[in-house]
A and B are shown apart, each in its own frame.
Chain A
Amino acid sequence: MTIQIEIDGIAVTTEEGGNLVDVAAESGVYIPTLCYLKAKPVLGTCRACSVKVNGQVVPACTVKVTDGMRVEVNEPETADMRKALVEILFSEGNHNCPSCEKSGRCTLQAVGYEVGMMVSRFPYQFPERVPDRASETIWLERDRCIFCQRCVEFIRDRETGKKIFSISGRGTTARIEIDPELANKMPPEQVREAVDICPVGTIIEKRVGYDDPIGRRLYDVESIRDRALERHAE
């Protein structure tokens, strides 16, 4: 059914039940996302896509559009809230962009640019997070994990469907884990899928890296905003 919603004061005609992130992108409004993947079940873990729907703050990726919905994306208070959420992620882990292999094709970094972050308003924590090198093909760099759970849900052993990645502990002691036995069974293309699905530089493929020079990396060539909007342009 065709419905009408309002995004930042502009009327948008769309189909009922569409995901708000996609509907907004189709109408040219970029909503930053970290955990959301189109065509995959919604996780709603990162909250980076928070917008106001009928006056209430909700993560846009969890919203299916309905008729008459009033959405505020770039209203200053809401935009600053999203920026604060991204800043929290930068201060609670160790995000050393200058030394990171994922730099330039890192979703968190690209979203940091889009929300206008220069510095985190929160004190940098410098937590001690030991990397896991047990797998033959994957280097697990825990410093950068933002607990989006993309790898936990979507990268599974192809024979048994068992989870290869998991999260142990809770709160400040939570950490991403890898099952080295299952990880060693991953075919090369699944390793690359895991690397690509990770929105930060936590899942790193061993023995390769720094393939694209600065200036030719994914988001050097085209910003994450332009990529997100272009994907929906007719």
Chain B
Amino acid sequence: MTTSYTKSIASHELPATRLDPELAAKRAEKIKVSMISLCGCWGCTLSFLDVDERLLALLDKITILRCSLTDVKRIPERCAIGFIEGGVANEKNIQTLKHFRENCDILISVGACAIWGGVPAMRNMVELKDCLSEAYVNSPTAVPGAEPVVPFDKEIPILTTKVYPCHEVVKMDYFIPGCPPSADAIFKVFDDLINGRPVDLPVSLNQFD
């Protein structure tokens, strides 16, 4: 068992240069978006980047507040859209997802993990203790002679017994299936939302894999 006493500092707690007032005013008019990956692989976020040059036109209308691409780890003000990748596999995921629900008007479940648990949910078929034992205690790839121990630290979030889809924890408004969803599918949903159209993901962009 290890315990860490280092105080971690979040990026928003660091001193920052004040935004140019003109830029700040422009940003204030835009639709605010926050993004996060819970228990996922960031593949859906990368797929968002595959929107490529269409991202430029999109960024004229939206501004991304909390996002791992910018390493900002909090939602500083109310957002219109929350982009959630990954399922719920630990206590921290629950807190984060609830925080997003409280601070976003619309939440989108993006990808297989957010929608039904995805690859991490493959552990739902075995007991959590057996899963941890296979990974750490009786691991076939353990270094010979190493002390078999399940990592435990206050900084390591406690795992939930099962992996849950986001909509089983909080209400989710829209779903974009895929592993990951294509950039076209993600763009279509964003485009519908920011232009005030009803969200309509056509059959041709609906992919479960």
Question: Which residues of A are interface residues toward B (Cβ below 8 A)?
Answer: 90, 94-100, 103-104, 109, 112-114, 116-120, 123-124, 126-128, 214, 223
Contact = CB atoms under 8 A, between A and B. Distances in A.
B48 interface: no
Nearest to B162: A126
Contacts of B117: 124, 126
A97 B168 contact: no
A116 B203 contact: yes
B112 A98 contact: yes
B135 to A, nearest CB: 19
A119 B177 contact: yes
Interface of B: 109, 112, 115-119, 121-122, 124-125, 162, 165, 167-168, 175-177, 179, 201, 203-204, 206-209
A118 B112 contact: no
A132 to B, nearest CB: 16
A223 B121 CA distance: 29
Nearest to B163: A126
A97 B178 CA distance: 9
Contacts of B167: 119
Provide the main secondary structure of the chain A interface.
loop
B119 A98 contact: yes
Contacts of A104: 209
17 contacts: A96-B119, A97-B208, A98-B112, A100-B209, A103-B208, A109-B209, A112-B208, A113-B208, A114-B203, A117-B206, A124-B116, A124-B121, A124-B168, A126-B117, A126-B121, A126-B125, A223-B204
A94 B116 CA distance: 10
Contacts of B115: 118-119
A217 B201 CA distance: 21
A118 B203 contact: no
B209 A123 contact: no
Nearest to A214: B209
Contacts of B207: 113
A118 B199 CA distance: 12
A95 B112 CA distance: 11
Contacts of A127: 125
